[in-house]
Amino acid sequence: MRFLEWGAKGRETLSDPGLRRPSRAVEVILAALLVFAPLAFGAVEFWSIAVVQGLILTLAGVRLANGLRDGSIYGDVNPLLGAGFGFLAWVGVQLLAGLTADAPSTRDAALLLLLDWVLLAVLSNEPWCDRRAARVGRLMAGIGFSVALFGLVQYLSWNGRLYWVRPIGDGTPFGPYVNHNHFAGLMEMIFPVALGLALRPGADRASQALWALFAAVMGLAVLVSLSRGGMAGLAAGSALLLALLARTRGAGWMLQITMLVAVLVAAGLLLLGVAPVLQRLATLGAPGREASIHSRLLVARDTLRIIRDHPLAGTGLGTFSLVFPRYLSFYSRWTWDKAHNDYLQLVAETGLVGLGFAVWWLASFFILFRRNLRADPSPELRLGAFCGCVAMLVHSLVDFNLQIPANALYFIVLAVLSTRPPQSASGRAAFTGDSPVAAGGVGRNSTLGEDFRSGGSISTD
């Protein structure tokens, strides 16, 4: 469905997505976003949120300026962008109809979500040929490796300060993140991308070994961070990737690379110490006696009470931290400003109406991925991006990673890469920089990765 069309070229471009010209400036700004957000403590502070939002608005401005210059402004709304717009419209109804416990909190949360939607609208209407998608995938894998390596080095030389400079009080920091769970959330999303790059048929041995090393360092960092949710997400994403690749390509050719990654991770654990990881995993056997797990279960129970009292409309996006204290039924020394379950918090804040848009988004996401996977002759990157999203969806059962701007940004980009249309079988030219390559369009099958995002307030936990 078209949402914007200007000029004869705009109409021609909408009717033939193969004519769409990619913007190198968009790619550069996107790279800046991907580099900056995780390094700025996950972009959870006001200054870093402002920078991220400024870069997104710049991205949109560049896209619009390019269209005005070329006399070709176009835009498509796929079902996922439509679901996101519907969710934003429902939040608008919450504000206008007074269906929120705190209008300023809902307004601030809606602004964050609106900027995410703008980012998706821009990326969804960029042409994504295989070479361009691979460049972004390689950049993300490189960033993931660098952040993971930094996290491990900082772990071995920890002095109580992030970057060895900024003091940290309470919390469980790892890498540039104040919360080790959010560090693990970033790693679990990028790990399948690096592994997918390593498993691409036809790649030379040196490249395969490099991407395998990148994946191994990220996997090791997740384990050393001691994030149980991160380990669960990593396991789910990795297992799904290998299963899908085995079904698509056959299992035999993957054995060497998979074993290499496993050996590297095991060697790293033996070097750094496997006992803390085993002890952390052992707590899963007795959740009632482990404080963190037990508290999460109690918070989930009390969140269900909020849903019971506000089933249809919820309490308003971004209001959980204000409403939950009235429902807290147990003593806790911690402040629970998040439900530590993105799905429960979504329903508590936006009700069954918001849940409906989330279900619409998820169903469309899986349908579009499956549809475009069938026509993709080289699906490893697509599969890696998809499994990174799945890893985050699993982790979101026990945490609030999608309310961390850096992780939400990565989820959005991975969702676009996983649902982008494959290159046209007819070989129609699109442009990658100055060189035409066989490509397909974009727009109808790209995705929105933040529609089910549950929170608006930002916490460094």
17 or 98, which is more confident? 98
Q: What percent of the chain has pLDDT over 70?
A: 84
Average pLDDT over residues 31-50: 97
* pLDDT category of residue 16 using cuts at 50, 70 and 90: very low
Average pLDDT over residues 202-207: 86
Residue 33 has pLDDT above 90, yes or no: yes
Res 128: pLDDT: 87
Res 377: pLDDT: 81
Residue 461 has pLDDT above 50, yes or no: no
Res 450: pLDDT: 33
Instruction: Give residues with Cβ within 8 angstroms of 450, minimum separation 6.
Output: 84, 113, 116, 117, 120, 402, 408, 411, 412
Res 251: pLDDT: 67
Res 297: pLDDT: 92
Average pLDDT over residues 366-389: 92
* Residues present in the chain in total: 461
Residue 252 has pLDDT above 60, yes or no: yes
Q: Are 254 and 199 in contact (CB under 8 A)?
A: yes
Res 448: pLDDT: 29
Res 425: pLDDT: 37
Q: Can you tell me which residue has the tokens 């971004």? A: 318
The model carries a pTM of 0.88
Res 168: pLDDT: 87
Average pLDDT over residues 280-296: 82
Q: What is the mean pLDDT of the chain?
A: 86
- 376 alpha-carbon distance from chain centroid: 22
Q: Are 264 and 216 in contact (CB under 8 A)?
A: yes
